[in-house]
C-alpha cells in the first residue's frame, strides 16, 4: 500500500523530481502546473478546439498561474509541500478513463458527445457526495467525537485525505445525479444509462486499486499464495490491532485476501461485459439492469472474503450485502419490465441536444 504517492513542493516550486532523506518523492508545483496545462492543451487539440487554443486570454491565464506558483512560497503561510494521495489519484484516473470511453462510445452510436461531458460532472459531484454521506452514516461514531467543536466536525465531514467514501453510496449518489441531469435535459434516462454503464465499472476498477493503496476494504485471513500483508502504521494494521487480532509488537498483519484486487478485476470484467452487451440489448435500460444484477451478485460474494465490516441488523450480512440485495432486485425489475420501455433505436448521425431523435428524447 502507499497512501501518499508523492508530494508537491511549494517551498521549491521549480525543483525537479527528488526524494529528500527519509521522505517521499517530491516535484515542484511549477512543473505540476506545466504538466496540467500540457494535458489540457492536448485534450482540446484532440477535440479540435483550435479557436480556444488561439485565444490569448487562455495563454495569459496559464502564464499568470505559472508566475503565481513561482512566488507562492513567499506568502509565508503555505506549507512546504502538499501530498498527492493514491486513492484520490486512482479515482481521478477512473473518472477520466470512464469519461473517455463514454465520449467515444457516444460518437460511435451517433449521440452528441458533449452531453456525456456535461453528465460526467454531475456524476462526479453527486457520486462523491453520495459516497461521503454513506460513509458518514455508516461510521458516524468513528468520525465524530462528542463535544467536538463545530469547525472541527465540519472539517472531518469533508476530509477525504484518507479515503472515506463508500462505493455503493457513490454509485447511488452518482446515479441519482445523472438521472436528474437527463430528466432536466428531457433526454431518455435509460438510453444514456446503458451507454454510461461500462464507464461506471471502469471507475470501480481503478477506484479499488486506490483502496489497495489506501489500505481500506481489506480481506479476511488467507492462506493462498497470493495473500498480502500490510505493514504497521497502515489503515489495515491499525484496524486489526484495535480489534485485538495482532500480537503486540507485530510489524505486519497476518496474510489477507487481496479483496481490493478481486474487486478491481471484477470492475474491469463487468466493464467489458456491459460494453459488449450494449450492442445486443433489446430495450432501453437493459445494460443498466444487467450491470445492477451482475455487480450486486459479485459484490455480495466478495463481501464474504472481506473483514473490514461486521454484520448488520442481526442478519450476519454486511451493510454492503444488504445494499446488494436491493440493487439486484432493482436490476431484475428493470430487466423484466424492458418490453414496457419499447425497443432500442439508435440515431443515425451526431446531432445537437435540441434535435436528438425520438429514441433519446423524453
The span from the CA of 75 to the CA of 314, in Å, is 55
Q: What pLDDT is stored for residue 268 in this prediction? A: 97
What average pLDDT does range 62-79 have in this prediction? 89
Residue 200 CA: distances (Å) to CA of 129, 172, 272, 362: 16, 11, 11, 23
Cα–Cα distances in angstroms (integers) from residue 251 to residues 211, 230, 233, 246, 254, in the given order: 21, 9, 9, 9, 10
Q: How far apart are CA 322 and CA 318, in angstroms?
A: 6
Question: Between vectors from CA 49 to CA 51 and to CA 181, what angle results, nearest 5°?
Answer: 120
Any idea where the domains of the chain sit in the sequence?
Answer: 1-79, 86-220+257-355
Shortest CA distance to 128 belongs to which of 98, 158, 103, 152? 158
**Local confidence band at 71 (pLDDT 50, 70, 90 cut-offs):** very high
What was the pLDDT predicted at 352? Answer: 46
Q: pTM of the full predicted structure?
A: 0.82
pLDDT confidence of 356, banded at 50, 70, 90?
A: very low
Residue 351 has pLDDT above 50, yes or no: no
Residues contributing to the annotated binding site: 208
Beta strands in 226-306 (DSSP E): none
Q: What is the mean pLDDT of the chain?
A: 85
The per-residue pLDDT for range 158-214, each reduced to its tens digit, is 766 555 677 777 878 888 888 888 888 888 889 888 999 999 999 999 999 988 998
Amino acid at each position: 500500500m502507499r497512501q501518499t504517492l508523492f508530494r508537491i513542493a511549494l517551498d521549491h516550486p521549480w525543483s525537479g523530481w527528488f526524494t529528500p532523506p527519509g521522505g517521499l518523492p517530491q516535484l515542484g508545483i511549477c512543473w505540476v502546473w506545466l504538466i496540467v496545462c500540457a494535458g489540457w492543451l492536448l485534450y482540446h487539440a484532440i477535440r479540435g478546439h483550435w479557436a480556444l487554443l488561439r485565444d490569448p486570454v487562455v495563454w495569459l491565464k496559464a502564464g499568470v498561474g505559472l508566475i503565481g506558483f513561482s512566488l507562492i512560497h513567499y506568502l509565508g503561510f503555505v506549507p512546504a509541500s502538499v501530498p498527492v494521495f493514491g486513492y484520490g489519484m486512482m479515482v481521478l484516473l477512473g473518472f477520466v478513463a470512464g469519461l473517455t470511453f463514454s465520449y467515444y462510445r457516444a460518437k460511435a452510436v451517433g449521440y452528441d458527445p458533449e452531453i456525456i461531458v456535461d453528465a460526467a460532472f454531475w456524476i462526479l459531484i453527486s457520486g462523491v457526495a453520495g459516497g461521503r454521506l454513506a460513509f458518514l452514516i455508516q461510521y458516524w461514531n468513528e468520525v465524530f467525537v462528542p463535544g467536538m467543536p463545530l469547525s472541527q466536525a465540519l472539517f472531518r465531514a469533508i476530509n477525504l485525505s484518507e479515503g472515506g467514501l463508500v462505493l455503493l453510496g457513490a454509485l447511488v449518489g452518482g446515479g441519482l445525479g445523472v438521472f436528474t441531469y437527463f430528466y432536466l435535459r428531457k433526454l431518455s434516462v435509460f438510453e444514456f444509462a446503458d451507454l454510461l454503464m461500462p464507464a461506471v465499472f471502469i471507475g470501480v476498477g481503478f477506484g479499488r486499486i486506490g483502496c489497495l493503496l489506501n489500505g481500506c476494504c481489506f480481506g479476511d485471513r488467507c492462506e493462498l499464495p497470493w495473500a498480502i500483508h500490510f505493514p504497521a502504521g497502515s489503515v489495515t494494521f491499525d484496524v486489526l490491532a484495535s480489534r485485538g487480532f495482532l500480537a503486540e509488537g507485530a510489524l505486519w498483519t497476518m496474510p489477507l485476501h487481496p479483496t481490493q484486487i478481486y474487486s478491481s478485476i471484477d470492475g474491469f470484467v463487468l466493464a467489458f461485459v456491459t460494453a459488449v452487451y450494449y450492442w445486443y440489448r433489446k430495450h432501453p435500460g437493459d445494460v443498466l439492469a444487467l450491470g445492477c444484477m451482475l455487480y450486486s451478485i459479485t459484490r455480495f460474494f466478495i463481501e464474504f472474503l472481506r473483514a473490514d465490516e461486521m454484520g448488520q441488523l442481526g442478519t450476519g450480512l454486511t451493510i454492503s450485502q444488504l445494499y446488494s440485495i436491493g440493487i439486484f432486485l432493482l436490476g431484475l425489475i428493470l430487466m423484466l419490465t424492458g418490453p414496457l420501455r419499447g425497443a432500442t433505436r439508435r440515431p443515425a448521425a451526431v446531432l445537437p441536444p435540441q434535435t436528438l431523435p425520438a429514441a433519446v428524447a423524453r
